[in-house]
Structure 1
Amino acid sequence: MNSAAQRPVFPFAALIGQAPLQQALLLAAIDPALGGVLVTGPRGTAKSTAARALAELLPEGQLVNLPLGASEDRLIGTLDIETVLRDGSVRFSPGLLAKAHRGVLYVDEVNLLPDALVDALLDAASSGVNTVERDGVSHSHDASFVLIGTMNPEEGELRPQLIDRFGLMVELQNCFEPSVRQAIVKARLAFDLDPQGFRAGYAQQQAAYVEQIHAARAALSQLAFDEAVHARVSALCIEAAVDGLRADLVMLRAARALAAFEQAATVTAEHVDRVAEAVLVHRRHSRESQADHDAREDDASAGAVERSSESSSSSARGDAQSADAAGDSDWGYLAPEPSATTHTHVKGVIPLNVKKR
């Protein structure tokens, strides 16, 4: 029995003031290969509430939490090597990645996890497969899940290499709009007072989300990208001065997922524009910063060449000075020394007659 049946979940359709987050989560649910969603923001901004709400819309309705103290074996599973050696058969004990298949894997404070665990999470999230290898023995299984990682930037950052591997990112902020704050609080109080009655009011919208996700997944492979879409994606990524091509690929997939969700006949540049911020917010570099970085690299290269030239010149000068000090090589290891001469009269030499042959 899933957790949704045991404990009422706040409906996804009832989330207020979270449109960018809802869109990013739906896109990841339609195409889990996007690589998951990183959600940043202060405490109390409904990050975990949104993750649980999304899980209820997926086929298995399964939400798996990865605790901070989890080991790598707990995450990816273990192989019983003794059984392999004794019987020649592979005995695999599933981990949390196997449990999260077709559901949501939620990682709170992902920035506090060891890098090795984050790498394993992102590998499985993007490929849909988990592979465990021990002592030359390997086992693979399907692990298609929606990865949702949350973090509070005040408690530490993820390495840029890891942030880039999250497909989408949404930055949540504290709400200071009185009417929105009041609406959120009223909805939460109503849910806590009568969960079933509150959920009943959103049952139709929830069912529509489930149908849209199912239909969008089926339509993904039928949607192609025309040249205008490719051109728009390239322009946005170049303008953002992103590293590599991952942003281009994720943006195309996210735009396709949005078009599929809306049952559009084709992917358009408008779909690209609507997903661009979630793709670029954690990958964007300013042009000035990029230019400064390139200039520093050029200066460093020029300095290295100059230092190399100076070193060669110094070496040449040193060799010349050594040669001057050593004199002609015929003197051997000792430098030539001047010898005193006596100024005596030398008689002239009378040449002999050349004999005729």
Structure 2
Amino acid sequence: MNKIALFVTTFFIGLQVNAATPEQLDSLLNEIDQDIAAQRLSAPVGNNALEKIEAFRGDAPFDFRVVPLTYRWGESYVELANRAIAGGQFDKAQGYLDKVWPVASLTPGLEEAQRVIDDAIASGMAKPVAVAAVSAPTKAELEHQRQLAEAAEKEKQRLQADYQRKKQEEQKAAEEKARKELAEQQRQQQLERERRAANEQKLKEQRLAQQTAKAKAASAPAKVVVDDIEDELLNTKPKSAPVKAVAKVAPVVAPKAAAKPTVTTLASAASVAAAWADAKEDSEPIARYDIPTEDLANRSRDIADNMNGACQAMVDNDASVVIHAADKSDYRWLAVRLTLCTRRIDRSYRLRHSHEVLSGGAPFLTLHPARDTALIRQ
């Protein structure tokens, strides 16, 4: 009965939860393994496998990693008992088995070894092991044992309920975390869609603005397209300035004759326009360069760099340029690109260019000896 009381008490204590860390439990298992290998099964006190097995059970009652080690510990005692039996030391063998029964009663070989001892005693080969007289348990002791067993069962149920509750809480927390992560992912995706939509709208507006600017530039007068054309037009204005000055003075001398200077001014302007309209480059070209048609059609900013050194030749020879193109808008745009290209080489160089309508074939440009003004064909 004392064995039963010890087992129930040990089981009840094993159900208590301590705050042993996983690292401490791993270390304790390693120490138990070393003690069994060194035959420190239940001695010396304070440093043996049995005490550490009981300590592990108390710290982690639901950690079953200690069970295989417990059976190894019991097998070690069974082996010692078999050796004692072989030497006729039945009392010593029974002592070994008595240590195993309350701790690991399912140890392989335990029952066989006990049967050998019992048969030896029954046949008279061995004397019965002296056992101190034990009085029958009282009613109070039986009630106490029942209460301990009942308390152990309740504690077990409580621990199981706590385990299930914690498991449900962890699952609920994991689901809530996953829900929040999904919501955040969807929010980020929505923000990304909005950002892309805003960028696309901005690009559409920019393209529309560029198309509008190109349309305005195509319909605008030639003199406001590029700064070089505007400069050359401005450089020709002083020729008609004296005529305008006469027109302002004329009303003071003879008011009735004020219209005559106006006729002179118009005639001068018309003659200048006619002279420009009939202007033509009559010098022999000193070089010719093909204009990349694909770059021209796509309005590529690299067109001047793809013309085999035309800009460098313009600067080196201080040459004037005739652009042979069918479309005047192509001429104006290319004039801008050539101007920027030559200014990167020499900022003091001033491009003198003119347009020659090309009736057919691929566009090209020719370099001519230097001249003072541009030939702008209307």
Indicate whether the TM-score tops 0.5. no
The answer to which structure has the higher strand fraction is 1
Structure number, greater radius of gyration: 2
The answer to which structure has the higher helix fraction is 2
TM-score by length of 2: 0.23
TM-score by length of 1: 0.24
Higher relative contact order (CA 8 A, sep 6+): 1
